[in-house]
Structure 1
Amino acid sequence: MRFNPKARLDTSRVRDSGAGRGRAGRSGPAVRIPGGATAGGGGIVAVIVLVVFVVLQLTGDGGGGAPSVDDALDTSRVGGGDSQRYASCQDGADANESVDCARVAVENSLTAYWSETLPAQSGTEFEPERVMRTFSGAVDTGCGRATSDVGPFYCPPDRGIYLDTTFFEDVLQGGLGGPAGDFVEPYVLAHEYGHHIQNLMGTMGRVRTQQGPESDAVRLELQADCYAGMWTGSATTASDASGEAFISELTRDDIDQAIAAAKAVGDDRIQDRTTGRVNPAEWTHGSAEQRQRWFMTGYEEGTLEACDTFAASSL
């Protein structure tokens, strides 16, 4: 993956909380854990814990209607402190030299892509996520206090994406045997941005069943993978305000990295690596095969309609 040196970067939504300390665990509305695993004692210790969104808390009623995003917005943490980690990220040339600036460029590309794609394909008004925040140790969010033990996640009340960047080396690669490579993190960020799109569209209010291979929770996660594939397929066309594409090149190797990452965080793969058994009744994100297939569906088809996992008779 190469970034366009001429593209200008906007750091206004990307922040870093630095190191934080606090009790492990979470409270309040649920935190979504994309990889479905927790780490401890130097490695993955159990098939995780995923706290699926509490639908009634998100909708405010049991009627299943789509809430206004602003109705549930908690801005108290979105505007928190910033270590200025991303202050030097100015353009695509910086993104080619710095992992941190690459993260800013990916966020900018995702925002540019969905700002056009979402209203064009659904009529839904687009609003960017309020913050993409990195942290170390622990961070307070509208979904509770999250520690480094959880992977990257999207918090609906904050309309924010949170990640401890050590997740990729320590958990995804070290614990789950996932791939290394420049496009692994962009795939994960694109998946989390997919949850933001679901939040804007009211899709989260459709989650009623929370475990099992055909559950609503699995459908939500596979749809986010499909949305990640949509962006990937058009990533070289998403541009800044002056028309300069953020990403100038994606190779087949980049796509293969995303597919390998999707495979590594399949429920069956995580269960097998952590407990030596596979139990589909406990699935919350989908199998390795499902996650790869729905990512490629988005990549090849490029439409919200093709990514409608809730309408699919079989996943």
Structure 2
Amino acid sequence: MTFNKDADISGNRVRRAGAGRATGVAVGGVGGIGLLILLVVQLLGGNAQDIDLSGLTGTNQAEYAPGEGEESLVDCLDGADANERVECRMQATALSLDAFWETTLPDQAGIPYELPGFELFTAQVSTACGAATSAVGPFYCPPDRTVYLDTSFFAELSGKFGAEGGPLGELYVVAHEFGHHIQNQLGTMDAVNRTGTGPTSDAVRLELQADCYAGMWVRGAVETKDANGNSYLLAPTQQEVEQALSAAAAVGDDHIQETFSGQVQPDTWTHGSSVQRQNWFVTGYNEGTLTACDTFAVSGDQL
């Protein structure tokens, strides 16, 4: 999608980890960080809490604080900057997602939207879910309610995973992670069994729902506006929607397994097949409601 060049994206919405950022064990303990890397290195939208064995609880939310050396993206001012620079694009995307969910969540779920943190990092980062490296890929950490992303992942997405590339493919990644925050707010994460695997497992349903929430935002993104009434984004073209669908397919469990091992093992899936991920993104895009995105209400053959 293309950002409106006149949109105001200034402010401190997104943080960038500086050189002084601590990289040791964060509050709550590391848990299974080795397993986390092995699992999520091949998957988009990793949920770090899923394999933290230290019993992270809500109390960690208050204990965690950003580390020293963080910087805000003060040089990202308008939509023109977002169209030219990936970091500014991340800030603009977060602002649009905030505007969308600030309206949608109260209207459709009856609860206020709480802004998640959003931090860009390079190489490694310390979080309330433990220390992580870029190999983990983008992830959402429930205890500190923050999305973490190394923008080098976008090159990996097209170079290693075969995605078409393009801005909307990048924006889909961010919207998916914000989708996990919505699940956290709604209590979905705590209500389901995230330890199982397979095409119809709760873990897969959780990821497909986040894809659906991403589709909801793409549908409504053109209506999100800055404080001056300027739309953050222009309406997506069909080609741009195809970029998002290509990104969704690239991170399907079956595609990744076929690409890197030559074997597809559905019983090990944790995020869903390419077709599943595309279908649920399209459902969110076409329907635009939380109800339509209830992946836990459908039978296995409807996933």
2:95 to 108, 113, 128: 108
C-alpha spacing 1:239/1:29, structure 2 compared with 1 (3 Å): farther
Task: Give the secondary-structure state (helix, strand or coil) at the position aligned to 2:167.
Answer: coil
Q: CA deviation at 1:251?
A: 1.2
Asked whether the equivalents of residues 199 and 269 of structure 2 are also in contact (C-alpha less than 8 Å), the reply is: yes
Q: CA deviation at 1:184?
A: 1.3
Match of 1:9?
9
1:82 to 70, 75, 78: 70
Asked whether the equivalents of residues 168 and 240 of structure 2 are also in contact (C-alpha less than 8 Å), the reply is: yes
Match of 1:298?
284
Asked whether the equivalents of residues 33 and 132 of structure 2 are also in contact (C-alpha less than 8 Å), the reply is: no
More strand by percentage? 1
Trace 1:152-231 onto structure 2 (pairs within 5 A): 152-169=138-155, 171-208=156-193, 209-231=195-217
Q: CA deviation at 1:76?
A: 2.8
Look up the equivalent residue of 2:289 and give its one-letter code: T
Q: CA deviation at 1:178?
A: 1.8
Q: CA deviation at 1:213?
A: 0.9
Asked if 1:97 corresponds to 2:72, the answer is no
C-alpha spacing 1:57/1:118, structure 2 compared with 1 (3 Å): farther
Match of 1:266?
252
C-alpha spacing 1:114/1:83, structure 2 compared with 1 (3 Å): same
Asked if 1:257 corresponds to 2:254, the answer is no
**Distance in 1, Cα, partners of 2:36 & 2:51:** 14
Asked if 1:27 corresponds to 2:13, the answer is no
Q: CA deviation at 1:37?
A: 4.6
Match of 1:65?
none
Q: CA deviation at 1:240?
A: 1.5
C-alpha spacing 1:293/1:254, structure 2 compared with 1 (3 Å): same
Trace 1:232-243 onto structure 2 (pairs within 5 A): 232-243=218-229
Asked whether the equivalents of residues 31 and 155 of structure 1 are also in contact (C-alpha less than 8 Å), the reply is: no
1:128 to 115, 125, 148: 115
**Distance in 1, Cα, partners of 2:111 & 2:124:** 34
Post-superposition Cα deviations, 1:220-277, rounded to whole Å, max 9, x if no partner, equal 0000000000000111001112322111232111100000000000000111111111
C-alpha spacing 1:200/1:31, structure 2 compared with 1 (3 Å): farther
Match of 1:119?
106
Task: Give the secondary-structure state (helix, strand or coil) at the position aligned to 1:220.
Answer: helix
Q: How many pairs does the alignment contain?
A: 294
Aligned residues: CA RMSD: 2.9
**Distance in 2, Cα, partners of 1:190 & 1:10:** 20
C-alpha spacing 1:202/1:59, structure 2 compared with 1 (3 Å): farther
Look up the equivalent residue of 1:82 and give its one-letter code: E
C-alpha spacing 1:54/1:150, structure 2 compared with 1 (3 Å): closer
C-alpha spacing 1:196/1:297, structure 2 compared with 1 (3 Å): same
**Distance in 1, Cα, partners of 2:239 & 2:196:** 34
Normalising by structure 2, we get a TM-score of 0.88
Normalising by structure 1, we get a TM-score of 0.84
Q: CA deviation at 1:136?
A: 0.8
Asked whether the equivalents of residues 267 and 283 of structure 1 are also in contact (C-alpha less than 8 Å), the reply is: yes
**Distance in 1, Cα, partners of 2:86 & 2:80:** 12
Unaligned runs of 5+ in 2: none
Look up the equivalent residue of 1:102 and give its one-letter code: R
**Distance in 1, Cα, partners of 2:127 & 2:111:** 26
C-alpha spacing 1:166/1:21, structure 2 compared with 1 (3 Å): farther
**Distance in 1, Cα, partners of 2:250 & 2:239:** 16
More helix by percentage? 2
